[in-house]
Amino acid sequence: MPKSSSLRETSNGSALPEIPSRSTSCDEPAAVTDPNESLRYALSRGETQEPLHLLPEEGLPFTRKLPGSSRFNSLSPRGKSREPLIGGTEIMRLAKGKTSKTTRIVVIALICNLYLFVFLRSISAQDAEAHFRRAKKFFEEGSLEGAEREYRLALKLAPQAAQGYNNLGALYFSKKDFKQAVTAFKWAQSLRPKDPEINFNLGLALFQTGDCDEAIPRLEAGVAATGHESDARYLLGTCLFDASQWDQSLHELEIARREKADSPEILFMLVRAYREVGERNKSLENFGQLLRDYPDSPLIHRLLGEAYDNAERPKEAEEEFKRAIEADPKTPQLHFALGYLYWRWKDYDKAEGPLKQELQLTPDSAPCHFYLGDIALRKGEVATAIDHFQEALRLRPSYGEAHLGIGRAYVESGRVNESIQHFQQAVTVLPDRVEPHYWLGKTLIQAGRLPEGTKELEEVERITSNKRTQAAEAFDNQTAAPQKTPRPVRKQELP
């Protein structure tokens, strides 16, 4: 999937805080991959595309004309009273001598100050445009540090230039600093909220950090980005798949396939989505096309690995995931798939290696940090677990499983009040899951808050009872009139 697409700029809105400089102490990924490989699944391999929508910096509205209705407060010299507000037309009349000498002096001084302000803003605009031009030149020459410096200087002078924030986000994206890219794109989007190219860029960066929930509305707005509807539909379909919205995912993926019928990544996702809704024949049909057109694709082995895993055959699944990695070790998510397989089958020592390798390819992977934190917690390495959970939450603040994990780690370290806060966050994000309510209830009781704790444990019983009822009804309905091939049972959904 091309990590890439295109960008455009903006310049309206209020001043935003300066972008923080990246700490020199931040660890760089141990292995740097080709930018076109950095997304979770690469779109149309071999097809060259720009990394993101780059927007032109020309024509920034840095200067303002004085409207005739502009008003200024005329303060009394002694501060006892205020004269009526004076409009722009009245100012010109007063300056021509139709009032007292003192008033004319004050008005002329105001006019001089106004023109000086406009002149200084004009100079600032010229300086900002010069910095933008130099930033663009540095970027095209591959000097990313120089381009970043020039963009920062330009944005200090032109804090409302959305195109500058947008292009700075593209720069961070090319450096695989996806967290900073999200921040820059968000500032651009706040200044031009309906711009489809900026929304597409923001959705793409959010997708890369694993924050699919927040990426979905941005990608929906980014579908209108010129020349990138298929990319936006594919990303949107993938995010909806991760959110377990199977039907909506299929809708977006089928639209994407109409635009790019030969994309192996789209076929890969269609196989998975049709499998989830129980459309076995359509899943096999797409898998057959993928196998026929791309017999050496690592995606083939990944699908086989997932199928073996669902069939409770972990040894065969392991072999297929290893073949996928051997076919293309730099493809994102393959190492994660193998690590998750080991984790799911409780082989935690083996799981660590692939998960750490995935972090070298995608350093902003919140799920990798979550599972490494979970493994560390199971091993009794509480401090290491907390570090991983904190990083997962830094990358994805609404990550419910990470809130649950760090809450458990804080319980282990005796930090009960902090654990309660995170369990409450987990309950908010995962209201229908038993575990957050259970841990919150137990911890509240431990902290002496018996009524609140009892209420949470009652919620555990209610959720459990409802799930039993729903499972029984589903079984009865399926037995009476089966409509579709049953969906394969999954041991645990990926967060």
Alpha-carbon dihedral sign for residues 334, 338, 343, 349: negative
Over residues 207-263, the pLDDT tens digits come to: 988 888 899 999 999 999 888 889 999 999 999 999 999 999 999 999 999 988 889
The pLDDT of residue 1 is 39
Give percent of the chain above pLDDT 70: 71
> Which alpha helices (H) appear in 328-431, and where do they start and end?
334-344, 348-361, 366-378, 382-395, 400-412, 416-429
pLDDT bucket at 54, cuts 50 / 70 / 90: low
Tell which residue, 468, 446, 469, has the closest CA to residue 456: 446
Q: Which residues contact 92 (CB under 8 A, 6 or more apart)?
A: none
Over residues 125-136, the pLDDT tens digits come to: 577 788 888 888
**Residue type at 492?**
Q
Question: From residue 220, how far is each of 27, 122, 200, 273, 280 by CA, in Å?
Answer: 33, 38, 8, 19, 28
Q: Which residue has the higher pLDDT, 158 or 286?
A: 286
Using the predicted structure, report yes or no on whether residue 438 has a pLDDT greater than 90. yes
Q: Distance between CA 143 and CA 148 in Å, rounded?
A: 9
Q: Distance between CA 470 and CA 244 in Å, rounded?
A: 18
Q: Which residue has the tokens 């579908």?
A: 223
Over residues 460-482, the pLDDT tens digits come to: 999 999 888 887 777 777 655 54
Q: At what angle do helices 196-209 and 162-174 cross, to 10 degrees?
A: 30
CB 150 within 8 A of CB 159: no
> For residue 71, how many other CB atoms are within 10 A of its CB?
13
Least confident residue range of 91-105, 170-184, 332-346, 390-404: 91-105
Least confident residue range of 39-48, 206-215, 361-370: 39-48
Q: What is the DSSP letter of 421?
A: H
Q: Distance between CA 346 and CA 364 in Å, rounded?
A: 24
Q: Which residue has the higher pLDDT, 297 or 116?
A: 297
Q: Which residue has the tokens 């929930």?
A: 213
Residue 72 in 3-state DSSP? strand
The pLDDT of residue 209 is 84
All domains in the chain, ordered by first residue: 365-490 (1.25.40.10)
Using the predicted structure, report yes or no on whether residue 157 has a pLDDT greater than 80. yes
Average pLDDT of span 10-24: 36
Give percent of the chain above pLDDT 90: 50
β-pair partners for 82: 75
pTM of the predicted model as reported, rounded to 2 decimal places: 0.65
Q: Distance between CA 419 and CA 361 in Å, rounded?
A: 31
Element spanning 326, H or E: helix 314-327
Q: Distance between CA 172 and CA 183 in Å, rounded?
A: 10
Q: Distance between CA 236 and CA 242 in Å, rounded?
A: 10
pLDDT bucket at 5, cuts 50 / 70 / 90: very low
Tell which residue, 283, 341, 299, 333, has the closest CA to residue 317: 341
The pLDDT of residue 113 is 61
Q: What is the mean pLDDT of the chain?
A: 77
Average pLDDT of span 436-447: 96
The pLDDT of residue 52 is 54
The pLDDT of residue 216 is 95
Least confident residue range of 257-266, 389-398, 426-435, 472-481: 472-481
Q: What is the DSSP letter of 34?
A: P
Token couple for 96 = 């021509």
Using the predicted structure, report yes or no on whether residue 12 has a pLDDT greater than 70. no
Q: Distance between CA 264 and CA 327 in Å, rounded?
A: 15
